[in-house]
Chain A
Amino acid sequence: MRTSSTRRDCLLALIVFALIAVLPMLWPSRGMSDFVIRLAAFGIFATSLNMLVGYAGLESFGHGLFFGLGAYSFALAMQRLGTSIPAALVLTLLLSVVVAGIVGAICVRLKEIYFAFLTLAFQMLLHSLIIAWTPLTGGDQGLTGGVPRPPFLGIRLDQPYHLYLFSAGLLVLCLLGMRHIVQSPFGYTLRLIRDNPARATSLGINVWAMRLAAFVIAGAFGSIGGVVMSLFVSGAFPDFAYWTISGEAIFMIMLGGTTLFLGPVAGAVMLLVLNDVVTKLTEHYGLVLGLIILLFALGLRKGLADYLAELWRARSAQRLAMPLPAAAPFAAPSNKLSGE
């Protein structure tokens, strides 16, 4: 069963990647390819947050820590160390694993609200470090001067189409990796811990260690989102580590819903489109976005995809519960059977 579903996921990923790869030939537009790159960054980031929120039940409000960390450490590794892109990627992953290990070790044993705010506090700590450490990070001006993009393995990220493909490839690979993790026994252990930590403990599961592992994995994936962003803007800015990044990611997973694996990606699409439309129409972006958030959060109170799924389930349950109409008596069951 598992191998077949894994094979199905891989196949699906390949098809999606192929479709994305040919898209620019059918629809050559700078706006479209920029959108896909941004979607890659936020799709990876939001899905990694949903690993925590939706699967492990860890409601982090400071996941932007890893977005900022990923962007800055990748950009700095490229600028200061002059490494190759894969090496910088590995360095970034290592750094975010270490940071996530330390932050997670302190945070994951805390209760909900404490956990949410403590993660936020750590994110704000990174933000203030970035602002203060001007010689290294460029302070509030951001890390400018461009991120060098030396070619590797025949991939030349200084060319728009290569960058586009590379980002889409990272998106697909990361989604596949995360999908594999949440469908693994480890992923089911996380769901058990989310639903009933006491039961998990009584079964001999080390809840703290499992939560920490989830936090570290999500942090590492989240930092890849930051890497894509820093490649896209060719730099890194303090906003990447600001709390609004976490807020936006939360809105994305709330928009898309936490129960479906691809929900956060759908949410990322919706929020990015919304972003583009609103910023084109008005300069009061915060006002409009805030109103939409309120309408949405106070009206639906759950993810759009979750809401639709529930609606669907309720309707089919209603249909099942309905008494059989008089016009379809038991008299002619053979017709029905043969009809199917």
Chain B
Amino acid sequence: MVAEATHTPASPKSIAIAVPEGVKLPIFMDNHSTTAVDLRVVQAMLPFFTQHYGNAASRNHSFGWTAEAAVEHARAQVAALLGGDAKEIVWTSGATEANNLAIKGAASYLRRQGGHIITVETEHKAVLDTCKRLQREGFEVTYLTPAKDGLVTPEQVTAAMTDKTILVTIMLANNEIGVVQPIEAIGAAIKAKNPKTLFHTDAVQGFGKVPFDVEKARVDLASVTAHKLYGPKGIGALWVRRKPRVRIDPLIDGGGHERGMRSGTLPVPMIVGFGKAAELAREEMPAETVRLKALRDRLYRGLTSRLTEIYVNGSLEHRLPGNLNISFAFVEGESLLMALKDVAVSSGSACTSASLEPSYVLRALGVGDELAHTSIRFGIGRFNTEAEIDYVIELVVSAVVRLRQLSPLWEMHQDGIDLNSIQWTPH
């Protein structure tokens, strides 16, 4: 570690790191929040804005037929990526709507059969807040706590099931820590215990990134979205099993589109884009997984070989290839983001939100608040390069070293003081 200049008030100034050739700033390394639309996807979409702009529900002219054919082609493309049938795809505005439709729609339809729902504390807010609303309406919800590695076990799920359990909703991969749940084992366990209990998965982060098949996972409902997969924002889908037929109540009534489950004129260009993005993901996932994992491991090795006291949050093994969520002890996350101003990453620090509370996902894993405040999520995606990774390593190492020089906690730690022995003044 860099020795401190304690005798002079000379300060640890921030040092500029040279930008390597071929690296363009700013760098986007926040691919769990969203992704750039792949140019091949844009190309596929373009004709549907100005040329083939028909309403897919128009049955009596060629404009409508062309639009409908494109929508059905996209349906097949998206269904193929999750191992389902095209007829089982219900287009939505995105994954938040798909999660709402799955959970509220199933709860509403199955209300008389029981009022118990099971989910996990680390789910996305689109699931958690939906469950909370149902609780206010009288449903009972069990929130499972994952293990320290972020994973839930099939036994945990079945142990929570009662004869009133109508729905289990567990995500495929986590948006913060990238941990991939053993979704196939969980699905098998649920169905073994009660085939009638519906199994929904928010598959958004894992869809097209890790192998996922609705038959193997034995899910009944799966939420997906295009914009995490190099497709456009504003289009998602809920896959709804037809064999055996799963029934849900719609949230939006209207013209009876999407087999009555989601009315509203279909956004044909977005759907075409989603279809193309799914097709590309299906073709390229094997190679892309290898490449992203190599980049992620390069980042991990680059950081761990040069910095001490850094901790990966969640299982490194059961994780999305492009995810690295790491706590840099004694360095507050937002101050680190500030040093990385030309790199888009995100932090579990409270300071990045209005709530002043650190990430609930890290809390659920039992990561202490003091470490949660120091966490950074790197989301590596299709368009990131090795040169970018190397530059980000330099930036992060330099910033952490500098900010630790500024950190009283780091100094105390170096002096062998147990931070837990100090009477802090929470505010």
Are A and B a genuine interacting pair, yes or no? no
